[in-house]
Chain A
Amino acid sequence: MLQRIRKAQLLMDTACEITGRPVNIMEVCGTHTVAIFRNGLKETLPKSMKLLSGPGCPVCVTHQGYIDTVLELADRKDIIVATYGDMVRVPGKNGSLETRKSTGNVKIVLSSEDALQLARDNPAKTVVFVAVGFETTTPASAVAVKTAAAEGIDNFCILSNHKLVVPAMDALLSDEKNMIDAFLCPGHVSVIIGYAAYKEIVDKYKKPCVVAGFEPMQIIEGLAEICRQIIEDRPQAKSIYTAVVTEEGNQTAQKIISECFEATDGYWRGLGKIPKSTLQPKEEFSRFDAYKRFGLKENTDYETTGCRCGQVLCGLIDPPQCPLFASVCQPLTPVGPCMVSSEGACSAWYKYGRREKKHQ
C-alpha cells in the first residue's frame, strides 16, 4: 500500500509542478467530504493541491424556498409530511420540521415505501413525501409515484426537489470565476448514472472527471488518476471504483427515472437557477406532484442573512471564512444547511478540520 501511496504522491507533485499553480479538485459528494476530513487526507496532499467541497450534499444544496414550502405544508392539519431524517433539522424562516414533530404531522421515513405505507394507513390525510436527493435516491421516489398510480393511492404525492449532478457541475464550470481543475465524482450516484454521464463535462470543458469509492485509498488513487490526466493533458471520464460503477450505470433505474420524471430549471443554494437540473413528475403523474395538487408557487431563492453556505458550496470560500462559522453557527445550533447535515462541508470542517487549521 505504501508503494501505491508514494506513486500517487509523485503524480500529485508532478501535476502541481506542471501547472505551476495550485491544482484545485472539487468533490461533489458529501460522503467523500466526510471521508477526506475524517482520514486527514488533506494533510497528506502536496501544499499546492487544494480540495474543494462542492454541491454534493443533498441537504446542503436544497434552497431555502423549498424548505419553507415544506414547513408550510407541515403546518396544515390535512397533511402528513414524510421525510428522510437528514432534512428534519434544516432551519427555515420559521423553525424547522423538528419543531413541528410534536404535532404528529411530520414523520421520518427510511424509504419512499414507508411514505406510501403512511398514506395507506392514513386515508383521511394526504401524505407529502419530501423527495430530495441526487440520482441515487431519485429511483426510489419514481417507484413510489408509479406504485401510487398503479394502486390508486390518491392521498400520496411528492414535493420533488430531486437534483441532477451533471448540470450543477456544468453551472460551476461555466462561471468564469471558477477555480476548478477537475472533479472527483460521486461513488454511489455514479452507480446509477454511470461514468459515461460525465463525458459531456469532459468534452465541453476539458476537465478530468474521475469516479472513486469512499475508502481512503480509493480517494487517493482517484486524485492520482486526475493528476495523471492533468500531466498527460488528456482529460477523461473514468471510474476507478470498478467494483460497482460501470460506464452505463444502472439502466433499469435510469429508465424508471425517465418514465416518471422530467428535468426542469431549478434553484440550488448558492448556485441559483440552473437549467434542466431539477426533476419534476411528468404530466401523466402530475396528480402526484404536490406543487400542482396544492397550487404551490415555488418560493424563489433567498439566503439566510450572513450565512455563506452558498459560497462554500461553490468552492469560493472555506467554511472558516464565513463569519458565522463556529460562532453562532455550530452543529447543535446550525444556521445554514452545510452545518446541519453531517455530510456538509461546514460540519465536517467543524468536527475534523480544526487540527488542519492549526497546520496552516
Chain B
Amino acid sequence: MCLAIPARIIKLEEDRAVVDAMGNQFNARTTLLPDAKLGDLVLVHAGFAISTIDEDEARKTWQLIEEIDNFKDTQNKVSG
C-alpha cells in the first residue's frame, strides 16, 4: 500500500516519535526526516515519517483514508 498517513508528532526524543493520526497514537521514527520537530504534521509510512505536510493537505488525506478504508485496515497494509 503506497498510502502514507498524516500524523502529528506529539512526543519526540532523538529520532523516536509518538504521533497522532485521527486520534490513534503510535510510534514512528523521524530518521528519514531529520528536521522534523515536535508539533509537526508528517506523512508516516511503515513506521517512518517521510515528509512534512500542511494542515489542509493532512485533512484531505485523512478524509480520503476514512473513505478508502477504515483506519485499522490501512494500518495493517503498509507495503508500498
Contact = CB atoms under 8 A, between A and B. Distances in A.
A112 interface: yes
B54 interface: yes
A244 B57 contact: yes
Interface string A113-140: 1100000000000000000111011011
A58 interface: yes
Interface string B5-30: 00000000000000000000011010
Given A113-B47, A133-B46, A342-B77, A35 B34 contact: no
B50 A84 contact: no
A113 B29 contact: yes
Interface string A33-49: 01100100000000000
A133 B47 CA distance: 14
A132 B45 CA distance: 13
Given A110-B46, A188-B45, A188-B80, A38 B67 contact: yes
A30 B43 contact: no
Contacts of A250: 32-33, 50-51
Interface of B: 1-4, 26-27, 29, 31-34, 43, 45-48, 50-51, 53-54, 57, 60-61, 64, 67-69, 73, 75-80
A252 B76 CA distance: 26
Contact of A136 (B27, B45, B54, B61): B45
A303 interface: no
A139 B32 contact: yes
Nearest to B54: A243
B1 A343 contact: yes
Interface in A6-40: 29-31, 34-35, 38
A329 interface: no
Interface string A335-346: 000000111000
A134 B46 contact: no
A29 B78 contact: no
B69 to A, nearest CB: 7
Given A38-B67, A187-B3, A341-B77, 11 more contacts: A29-B2, A59-B79, A86-B1, A108-B76, A136-B50, A139-B48, A139-B50, A243-B53, A250-B32, A256-B32, A342-B77
A113 B69 contact: no
A251 to B, nearest CB: 10
Interface of A: 29-31, 34-35, 38, 56, 58-59, 84-87, 108, 110-114, 132-134, 136-137, 139-140, 143, 186-189, 191-192, 213-215, 243-244, 250, 252-253, 256, 341-343
28 contacts: A29-B2, A35-B64, A84-B46, A84-B79, A86-B76, A86-B77, A86-B79, A110-B26, A133-B46, A133-B80, A136-B2, A136-B50, A137-B46, A140-B48, A143-B32, A143-B48, A187-B2, A188-B3, A188-B45, A188-B50, A191-B4, A191-B43, A213-B61, A214-B3, A215-B64, A243-B53, A252-B34, A343-B1
A256 B45 CA distance: 16
Nearest to B32: A253
A56 B2 CA distance: 9
A140 B27 CA distance: 13
B3 A252 contact: no
Contact of A192 (B26, B50, B79): B50
